[in-house]
Amino acid sequence: MNAPATQERDVRVTRLRIEKFRAIAKAEIELGETVALVGQNGAGKSTVLRALNAFFNFDDERPAFEAGAHRYSNATQAIIELTIEGLAGTALPTSGANGEFRGRLKYQRKPVWQVWRAGEWDTVPSFGDSLREHITYALVPIRRDHEVAHSATGGLLERAVEEWVSSHSQRDRRSPEIAKVADRLREKSLSGLEKQLRSIAPLDGPFSFELSYAVPPDYRLLLQNLALAVREGGQAIPLSDSGSGTQSMAVFALYAYLAELQSKKYLLGLEEPEQNLHPQAQQQLMRNLSRLGLQVIFTTHSPTIVDMLDHEHVVLCKRTSSNRRDLEVELSQISRTFFADHGLDRERYYKFHRRRNSEFLFADFVVVTESPIDAAVIERLLEDAGTPTDQLGVSIVSLDGGVGKGSVDYMFQLLRGLQINAAYVVDRDYFVPYKNGSRDASLDSRGFPQYDARLQPGCLLATVIPSQSARTRLIDDLVRRPSDALKSLSEVGFFCFMWALEVDLVNAATPRSRMFDHFQIPEDKRTTSELLKNRGKVIKKQEVLISAISGLSANALPNSYKALRREIPKLAAGSRGRA
């Protein structure tokens, strides 16, 4: 097969803009080599793939347009606009050193194709054929089994074989041989049928019957009924008898091959690549996709796959509502300059992220804690309240100092950039430092930490409370009137303990009594000082804290715990209601 004329060009789609298409009112996303569309069921992930298909392969989507399935509302016009780089010197209008082409499809009652030329939109008959010479798009649907591969109507395998034969043969040497075989069949076997038909014909006269081919037979006759098998361990297993994961990958390969034949560069839209694949196979698939030199945009529900991607390559799709529609879809994505924009150390963040689970991207609401122990305690609080995290649609992310000082900042900026509603659970020393520099040096006679009325460097107080005067009042409250400060902080999404996770429990009678029992402390030593000074490290252990709160009513908990137990379900319900 001859290499396409664009072999040296780095043709790639860089931006997609969608307006009034299905449930998307307006959205714009950047496309790199790999883009994952994540979100809950019904969040519009497939809508993005269909929009791309409408732009590149309009005839495939024409019936849905004409039936109104792609309509946002009755009176609106759908717009799908793409920016594609690397097309300088082609028949398409481009601008800039990168050869940037902008084209769009508008549809209300009929398709209208426009290109960006000389600073304005210019309506043209179409640009699809010219574009397909340089880049194509293949939509791989969620169904990928042996029937799709061998379907007489879909013809994936037959089409792939035909393309392979035609592209790897300079001329057809097979069809003449097929014709000879057909002639021998007619002469030796079918000539008798010709004579029999003539003998029973009810009319006399000098005529006879002859069988011939309406279309000269060619090698394509041999392509019928081909079946793909998988050879493993010396045995050929029909694809229909292979595992669902193997079937899925076979169909994926056929789609990818057919798309690759059409141009040097192609964009692959893939529905849920994790279907029927175990986690290790999902990881292998993602690594192999990155080596193929094509752009891939896919929908996924798999944290295993998302964990392998940089967050810049993730587009979050969320359900919401508006005055125009009961169901609307919003897309959010952090920019490629996200870390630099917020002064964050990208490498340090991803060192932390690579060992984390990305399931928070699929949640309605996220709770960020400073450690796994905090996370376990909050989970137990919510379970005891009859509102477990899975029921709430809540994901808890524990930082554990994973990105060093100011680690909350990373998740705060990321979640805000992706427009994910969240709450942050921190100790008081996140905002104000200990009075004498360290916690041990700042304990009062009862063992409770004391604080200095200064802002802790690296905390987000200036971000969440922009007013200098309001911050000054809050810092003073954190030292002198902590209950007031905790209430103010909860209003901006921060849940702060009066002191710290374990210290607050020591200040509450029932949890404190349970701690005494846990350590079998004699009655004469049952003081807060014994727990906070002499056992300050061991009372932080998860089993101690969980046993101190398990099964308690809200009234027996410290105020900071009551607030978590009461407010997180409300915030989660509000986020889900927004969806």
Tell me: the pLDDT tens digits for 286-295? 887 777 667 8
> Which value, in Å, is the radius of gyration of the alpha carbons in the chain?
33
Q: Quick: pLDDT tens for 337-378.
A: 898 998 888 887 777 666 566 788 889 999 999 999 999 999
Match 């298409």 to its residue by tokens.
Answer: 21
**pLDDT(461) > 90:** yes
Q: Binning pLDDT at 50, 70 and 90, where does residue 136 land?
A: confident
Residue 458 is predicted with a pLDDT of 84
Strands 229-232 and 235-238: antiparallel
Q: Which long-range CB contacts under 8 A does 232-238 form with residues at least 24 apart?
A: 238/146
Has residue 171 got a pLDDT over 60? no
* Single-letter residue type at 558: P
The two structure tokens encoding residue 197: 């038909």
pLDDT at position 473, please? 96
330: Cβ–Cβ under 8 A, 6 or more apart, which residues?
A: 27, 317, 318, 320, 419
Query: Does the pLDDT value for residue 436 go beyond 50?
Result: yes
Which residues make Cβ contacts (< 8 Å) with residue 58, sequence separation at least 6?
A: 105, 111, 128
Which tokens go with 543?
């089993």
Is pLDDT of 495 > 90? yes
Mean pLDDT over 525-529 rounds to 96
Kindly give the residue spans of alpha helices, DSSP state H, lying in 343-467.
346-353, 372-384, 389-392, 407-417, 461-464
CA 300 to CA 41: how far, in whole Å?
Answer: 10
In degrees, rounded to 5, the angle at the alpha carbon of residue 396 between the alpha carbons of residues 332 and 514 is 160
Of 475, 499, 500, the residue nearest 489 (C-alpha): 475
- Please tell me whether the overall predicted TM-score, pTM, comes out greater than 0.85 for this model: no
pLDDT digits (tens, 9 = 90+) for 77-105: 999 999 999 999 999 999 998 899 999 99
pLDDT band at 576 (very low <50, low <70, confident <90, very high): confident
pLDDT (tens digit, 9 = 90+) per residue, 13-50?
999 999 999 999 999 999 988 999 999 888 899 999 99
Please say if the pLDDT value at position 405 is more than 60: no
Check pLDDT > 80 for residue 196: no
Given a cut of 80, is residue 559 above it in pLDDT?
A: yes
Report the candidate in 336, 260, 331 with the shortest Cα–Cα distance to residue 32. Answer: 336
- Residues 6+ positions from 194 with CB-CB distance below 8 Å: 208, 209, 210, 211
> Is residue 180 classed as helix, strand or coil in its secondary structure?
helix
C-alpha–C-alpha distance, residues 519 and 544, integer Å: 9
411-434 tens-digit pLDDT? 999 999 999 999 999 999 999 999
DSSP single-letter state for residue 360: G
Assess contact for 113 and 124: CB atoms under 8 A: yes
In this prediction, residue 568 carries a pLDDT of: 96
Q: For residue 492, what are its two tokens?
A: 């901006």
Looking at residue 119, its amino acid is: G
Instruction: Return all residues near 268 (Cβ < 8 A) that are at least 6 apart.
Output: 137, 138, 140, 255, 256, 259, 294, 295, 296, 297, 298
Is the pLDDT at 403 greater than 50, yes or no? no
